[in-house]
Chains A and B, each alone.
Chain A
Amino acid sequence: MGGKTFMRGIGRYPFLYLLALPGVLFVFLFSYVPMYGILIAFKEFNIRKGVLGSPWVGFSNFEFFFTTDKLLLVLRNTVFLNLLFIAATTCCAVLLALLLNEIRVKWFKRTAQSLIFLPYFMSWVVIGMLVQSFLGGMHPTVDGWLESLGIAPLNWYYEAHLWPWILTLIRVWQGAGYMSIIFLAAVTSFPDEIYEAARIDGASRFQMMRRITVPLLVPTISILTILAIGKIFNGDFAMIYAIVGDNSMLYPTTDVIDTYVFRSMRVLNDFGMAAAVGLFQSVMGFIFVVAVNALVKRYSQDSALF
């Protein structure tokens, strides 16, 4: 396509390009302009001097983060928590979808779906409020339950080692139902003929689930997992900060890159360092998502993202 035909194309359908313009501008302003702000990571940023006016400091903003054990801690927490979330939510969601698919009674299936999907619509602040109400306070509700089971009550907000599991449980509560509905939608799209044929061959429902439904689900599972793994360096700020907040007792296991960046910026006012950590995260995340995608492309073209 030469430049001339190209211009004629635009001239012929100006409306099409006009339609894209507002969206393109929004994306430019809120996504691309901040990319220019990455320069802050290499500067001793001073708000009054601005991005260009602040003096260059090379990599010294990175030095601090890389030379303390902070980096290792927040990096480990971010990746570990995300792996836990991905594994737990995906497993629960697949299981839920498979079981929901086995249920033939309409009203039960519909009610169950409504209930397990509902938590997905709650904001993390609402969830944070619930968690704090039931695990915190003078007499945590959950402690009352444990006591009636004969288990010694805990002071939850002092037990950092428990929080990766608590957060995972919250994540499953919030997201597994949502994900199961994606899987269920995929399952219902599988052709009936395959199941018909299996039934004629005398397959039980469990065999059909294992030999037909699960293998057919693998591409969907892998797409969603790759999507999630691509974001493994992105801590879920909204979730973690809404639930853990400024509870420094829990930082050893719950402080992720994003909460660390937020604190460096808003509490310590160290914009340069916060930007450096953010840039490190963006670059790692980018490399990761591209690498994972290339890997997937090699064995299954259909499951790759791009």
Chain B
Amino acid sequence: MIATKSDRMMTVFSWGLITLFAAFCLIPFLLMVSGSLTDEQILINEGYRLLPKGLNFEAYRILLQSGALLRSYGITLFITATGTVLGLLVSASLAYSIANRRNRLRHAISFYVYFTMLFNGGMVPFYILISNWLKLSDTLAALILPLAVQPFLVFLMVSFFRTVPEELEEAGRIDGAGEVRIFVQLVLPISKPILATVGLFYALIYWNDWFMGILFLSEENKFPLQMILRRMVSNLEAAKNLIPSGAGIALQAPTYQIRMATTLVTIGPIVVLYPVLQRYFVKGLTIGSVKG
């Protein structure tokens, strides 16, 4: 193929703009990493820079000893693990049921779930339901249960289960397998990619959620990571809460540095798992799957 002048310009243009946008996406992360490694005094005088001036691990040293941060990490891990398993179980079962042609209620159930994407009662009744009727304020259940069925993810799975060939279930039935065995031993194993995708979606939702926290949590010892971070945003001094009393800090606590270090620690698992996350997310993002 002969590259014409117009085609070559197209290539240059594509490389240029994509590089620019990729840099735009990367810069805040660079500032964050560099900030977490920069001496507090430099941060106060000069602000955050793309590359750190010298290396200073003070913030990480403090965070490693911080019982408050460790506890909150544990809470976030617990919420994410429990929520993902629960969400996956409930949503996959619901989706399989909706996708199955032998379910005569499938259209009704599908609409019943879909309708909640169009209309909702709003924040106030939801708040009263959780805090007054279910009395879940200041429990981790308030952070887990309300997010367990995401209609969008249910329909993502429905569209996958619809592609499972009916012959597979037919064959299972001829071999004498019951409905339970067909689902557990035939359908679920070939659904691993979609289960992984949806599982990661759920994990991300739980890891990143703070709305439930801000609505229902007031006890600091139950704060997940996002809430710790949220408090630091609204109150500069809050970074000091993470400093253990025996850490031997000089007069000036490294507030600006700790803020960046805590942010980095919060997004750490996402960045570490990112290659896996990305692969599955791209797979799961087939458009049209949103349709009920």
For B105, give the chain A residue with the smallest CB separation: A17
Report whether A139 and B256 are in contact in the complex, using a CB–CB cutoff of 8 Å.
no
Report which of B21, B124, B179 forms a contact with A15, defined as CB distance below 8 A.
B179
Report whether A37 and B46 are in contact in the complex, using a CB–CB cutoff of 8 Å.
no
Report whether B129 and A23 are in contact in the complex, using a CB–CB cutoff of 8 Å.
no
Judged by a CB distance under 8 angstroms, whether B68 is at the interface is: no
Residues 253-292 of B contacting A (Cβ, < 8 Å): 256, 259-260, 263, 266-267, 270-271, 274-275, 277-278, 281-282, 285-288, 290-292
A281 vs B120: C-alpha distance in the bound complex, in angstroms? 10
| B31 shortest CB reach to chain A, Å | 6
Residues 150-195 of B contacting A (Cβ, < 8 Å): 151, 154, 178-180, 183
Residues 123-166 of A contacting B (Cβ, < 8 Å): 123-126, 128-130, 132-134, 137-141, 143-144
Knowing A47-B132, A173-B24, A275-B124 are in contact, say whether A238-B211 is a contact too (CB < 8 A). Answer: yes
Among A66-74, A75-83, A95-103, A248-256, the stretch in contact with B: A95-103
Report whether A205 and B6 are in contact in the complex, using a CB–CB cutoff of 8 Å.
yes
Knowing A37-B121, A40-B125, A115-B26 are in contact, say whether A141-B48 is a contact too (CB < 8 A). Answer: yes
CB neighbours (8 Å) of A6 from chain B are 104
Judged by a CB distance under 8 angstroms, whether A215 is at the interface is: no
Report whether B94 and A15 are in contact in the complex, using a CB–CB cutoff of 8 Å.
no
Residues 223-263 of B contacting A (Cβ, < 8 Å): 226, 229-230, 232-234, 256, 259-260, 263
A144 vs B233: C-alpha distance in the bound complex, in angstroms? 21
CB neighbours (8 Å) of B44 from chain A are 138
Report whether A265 and B25 are in contact in the complex, using a CB–CB cutoff of 8 Å.
no
A95 vs B13: C-alpha distance in the bound complex, in angstroms? 11
CB neighbours (8 Å) of A176 from chain B are 21
Report which of B93, B120, B127, B260 forms a contact with A19, defined as CB distance below 8 A.
B93
CB neighbours (8 Å) of B146 from chain A are 30
Report whether B25 and A102 are in contact in the complex, using a CB–CB cutoff of 8 Å.
no
For A117, give the chain B residue with the smallest CB separation: B278
A152 vs B183: C-alpha distance in the bound complex, in angstroms? 65
Knowing A118-B25, A206-B10, A271-B128 are in contact, say whether A96-B121 is a contact too (CB < 8 A). Answer: no
Report which of B13, B123, B281, B290 forms a contact with A227, defined as CB distance below 8 A.
B290
Report which of A1, A139, A274 forms a contact with B123, defined as CB distance below 8 A.
A274
Report whether A22 and B287 are in contact in the complex, using a CB–CB cutoff of 8 Å.
no
Cβ proximity bits A238-263 to B, threshold 8 Å, 1 near / 0 not:
10011001100000000000100110
Judged by a CB distance under 8 angstroms, whether A9 is at the interface is: yes
Knowing A20-B93, A37-B128, A40-B125 are in contact, say whether A126-B290 is a contact too (CB < 8 A). Answer: no
Judged by a CB distance under 8 angstroms, whether A223 is at the interface is: yes
Judged by a CB distance under 8 angstroms, whether A33 is at the interface is: yes
CB neighbours (8 Å) of A100 from chain B are 14, 18
Judged by a CB distance under 8 angstroms, whether A57 is at the interface is: no
A36 vs B137: C-alpha distance in the bound complex, in angstroms? 20
Report whether B232 and A129 are in contact in the complex, using a CB–CB cutoff of 8 Å.
yes
Report whether B278 and A242 are in contact in the complex, using a CB–CB cutoff of 8 Å.
no
Report which of A102, A137, A246, A290 forms a contact with B14, defined as CB distance below 8 A.
A102
Please give the residue numbers on chain B whose beta carbons come within 8 Å of chain A beta carbons, in ascending order.
1, 4, 6-7, 10-11, 13-15, 17-19, 21-22, 24-26, 28-29, 31-32, 35, 44-49, 89-91, 93-94, 96-98, 100, 102-105, 109, 112-114, 116, 118-129, 132-133, 145-146, 148-149, 151, 154, 178-180, 183, 204, 207-211, 214, 226, 229-230, 232-234, 256, 259-260, 263, 266-267, 270-271, 274-275, 277-278, 281-282, 285-288, 290-292
Between A and B, 8 residue pairs with Cβ closer than 8 Å are: A23-B91, A121-B270, A123-B208, A124-B208, A133-B259, A206-B6, A223-B290, A306-B292
